[in-house]
Chains A and B, each alone.
Chain A
Amino acid sequence: MSNQSSGQVSSAQKKQAMKNMVSKYGSLAALFLMIVVMTAIKPRFINPTNLRNILRLASINGLLAIGMTFVCLTGGIDLSVGAVMGCAGMYSAYFAQEVMNLPWFVGVAVGLAMGLAIGLFNGICVAYLKVPAFVGTLGSMSIAKGLTFILTNAKPIPKLSASFKYLGGGMIGGFLPIPIIIFGVILFICFLLLYNTRYGRYVFAVGGNQKAARVSGINVKIVTASVYLLSGFLAALAGIIMTARVTSGVTSTGDGYETDAIAMVVIGGTSLAGGKGRLWGTIVGILLMVCLSNGLDMLGVNAYIQMIVKGFVVIAAVMLDGLSSD
């Protein structure tokens, strides 16, 4: 009897340990597997130029996903990030036109200011006016889109100054693209922010239990509002870099990027219910999504089919997480 029971215990233990592993490292394993398989099919997948491309793509998407992680940790969501990208991109492009002859940082500052303004608006809506995040940011998505179109009546803005374009296309040492450096710096700061400061702890607490956070003396409203501000700022930064990279302001910049960002966060194991998640998981989510589209491109899979594949991947990732945390 005792022998049999200890056998059962250890098998149950193994099962549970297995589930924890799947939940924690499932996405990482999937990423690794994908890299191996892609390399086997197309060896040039891991040559340095392609890896650099992947990272460059990841750096723009990734900025949104980092901001989204903070928002989701508080139990919110920010649907406006794609539109903010476009908006910040257009306004920065407007002030970075060659004919204006302004220094590069003017365009950047204007773009970032747009992002901060919309983020602040989101934060006030959600934290102070008690509008549900889904609705509030859906509204500001439309507002941001409108602001984008109004500027030039939806016409693109070509001919940007060289110094501005350098932000997207420039490389340090002839090899390391500037967007990747910016992303790396932001990522590092956000890691410190989330895991080594009071503020980060408060983000988790507010998402985990607002009432308990308040009773513990945390200013829940400010913390809630702040994550939208951060998200808006990072979305704007992504929009500016993207615009500099494609060398003209286009109104469609960032279209649909919000869904990708949410997918990356969710694949990374962050709960949309708030209070639970991890930033490194988001990094895995970012790389997984970007490698997937790069790989499918390389295999010549048509873009529409790629959308279908991506949809299934997101659902599968969350399903696995749900099964394993059961």
Chain B
Amino acid sequence: MSLLEMKGIQKSFYGNQVLRDVDFTLEAGTVHALMGENGAGKSTLMNILDGIHKRDGGTIRIDGQEVEINSPSEAQEKGIAMIHQELTTIPEMSVAENIYLGREPVKRGFIDYKKMYQDTSELLKMLNIELNPRIKMGKLRVADQQLVEIAKAVSQNARIVVMDEPTSSITDREVENLFGIIRDLKLRGTGIIYISHKMDEVYTITDEITVLRDGESINTWKTAEVTNDMVIKAMVGRELKEQFPKIEVPIGEKLLELKNLTIQGQFENISFDVHAGEILGLVGLVGAGRTETMQALFGITKPESGEIFLKGKPVTFSKPADAIAAKIAYVTEDRKGEGLVLPMSIAHNITLPSLRELSSKIFIRKGEEKDAVQKEMTGLKVKAASVKLPVKMLSGGNQQKVVLAKWMLKEPDIIIFDEPTRGIDVGAKAEIYKLMGEFVSQGKAIIMISSEMPEAMGMSDRIIVLSNHQMGGELRREEFSQKAIMAMAMSHM
């Protein structure tokens, strides 16, 4: 008998059928990867399991018993715990308070803090998590907050734990730690549903893989019996020829140069240049100062010292509008936080930075705006029923394309890509890479921050490595190797 059996699950939103007859089975004591492109229906399926969405059809069985789950709290009662990609902890409360939120131990009508902290200590110890139960959640790093959520799940005796891209914002060492804890949970007989786009992780930690595509379950395999290509083919529905379609582009004049750019404690004495036709990779460990450097370049923060030269002329950007006016664009890492206005329509998001060009003295020229939007939608192959839909209705990959569309319309000379393909499926990734190639072949330049080594090495012409807020080194394409990059990334630790 399986721990969890979801059978023939169906769901539609606004008349869009997003799940059709999806089957998914989880055995106790195993880790089961749930894979698929963005918009394939993974999140919807999990939200149905968690009682957030109501299914239109199908059955859910736990230990062979048919169950109805109407809310997250009912899911919790049935031993289901969700660890969302965007963590749902309360920053102002302590670790222990977060773990026992809503079920605090009570003595004579008051919260028994002593017991709460004691229990938390024991729990964390049991899981080999070294954290102070009294520290405020907001003070912890993302990786540690995630561990607290796992501890919470364990303390609720969760038997089914869903992890949605748990490694998307943590370092390699933290990933190891997380995997240790996952193996521990397996031994206790917990079933874990592991949602991830990262192949290497899926091969390391999971026992089975189920692939969804366009709301249907395509196949389920034992992880040991399936190849990378088979999984990708199942996800995309076709074979991807090249993972990194690098185009050879002649490198031209120097477009941008940073000299000794510094904000103490964030990045210090950062110097490099970017040439026309070039994709410059900016790599380093999480926290090395890559994003901070780019934010200063784009005028989001003010550098304390150092200079920026644009085509040889010194410039200062005191706000993003200045950088945009100098034909620089910034595709931020956090597309929901900084890239998009979620309640706004797709069309209005795309034209937001370009309204000045699309307006007469007073009014927006709506016809022209519509044409511009249509051009970018086609160029980037954004999949949407209507450009009037709020952008938040799109899947991650399509949202990222909207961010790109918005900047492409602005016709910049230099684009800063901060983790351009994070949380995006393989199909959309390939399209974005292709687009990057086309962009630089017009004599323009890209600075790409990437934490994915294969991506950085596959796409860049040159790589700048930052290490602990400082310059770690520079590598030309023929010098690229994981080993060389890691050595530079660690050089100032």
Contacts and interface: CB of A to CB of B under 8 A. Distances in A.
A219 B13 contact: no
A217 interface: yes
Nearest to A211: B338
Contacts of A202: 355
B337 A13 contact: no
Interface string B358-378: 010011101000000000000
A5 interface: yes
Contacts of B359: 197-198
A219 B14 CA distance: 36
A49 interface: no
A208 B351 CA distance: 15
Residue in A17, A217, A276 whose Cβ sees the most chain B Cβ within 10 Å? A217
Given A8-B56, A217-B320, A208 B343 contact: yes
A205 interface: yes
Given A196-B363, A208-B341, A218-B352, A13 B15 contact: yes
Given A201-B355, A216-B320, A12 B12 contact: yes
B300 A13 contact: no
A150 to B, nearest CB: 40
Contacts of A213: 341, 352
A211 B363 CA distance: 25
B14 A13 contact: yes
A30 interface: no
Nearest to A205: B341
A23 to B, nearest CB: 13
B321 A9 contact: no
Contact of A198 (B21, B341, B355, B366): B355
Contact of B56 (A9, A17, A211): A9
Contact of B12 (A9, A197, A205, A211): A9
Given A198-B356, A201-B355, A8 B339 contact: no
A218 B12 CA distance: 37
Residue in A201, A205, A208, A215 whose Cβ sees the most chain B Cβ within 10 Å? A215
Interface on chain B toward A: helix, strand, loop, or mixed SS? mixed
A198 B359 CA distance: 7
B341 A217 contact: no
Interface in B321-343: 321, 324-325, 330, 332, 337-343
Nearest to B13: A16
Interface string B398-441: 00000000100000000000000000000000000000000000
Q: Which of under 10, 10 to 19, 20 to 34, or 35 or more describes the interface residues of B?
A: 35 or more
A8 B55 CA distance: 10
Contacts of B353: 216-217
A204 interface: yes
A323 to B, nearest CB: 15
A5 B10 contact: yes
Nearest to B14: A16
A90 B10 CA distance: 64
Given A16-B15, A208-B343, A216 B57 contact: no
Given A16-B15, A217-B321, A204 B57 contact: no
A13 B342 CA distance: 23
Contact of A214 (B300, B325, B351): B300
A197 B338 contact: no
A197 B339 contact: no
B17 interface: yes
B338 A208 contact: no
Nearest to B361: A197
A246 interface: no
Contacts of B364: 196-198, 201
A39 interface: no
Nearest to B345: A204
Nearest to A200: B364
Given A9-B12, A198-B356, A213-B341, 20 more contacts: A5-B10, A8-B57, A9-B56, A13-B12, A16-B14, A16-B15, A197-B362, A201-B348, A205-B352, A208-B344, A212-B338, A212-B340, A214-B300, A215-B338, A216-B320, A217-B320, A217-B321, A218-B352, A275-B341, A276-B343
12 contacts: A8-B56, A8-B57, A209-B337, A209-B340, A212-B339, A215-B300, A215-B320, A216-B353, A217-B320, A218-B352, A219-B321, A275-B341
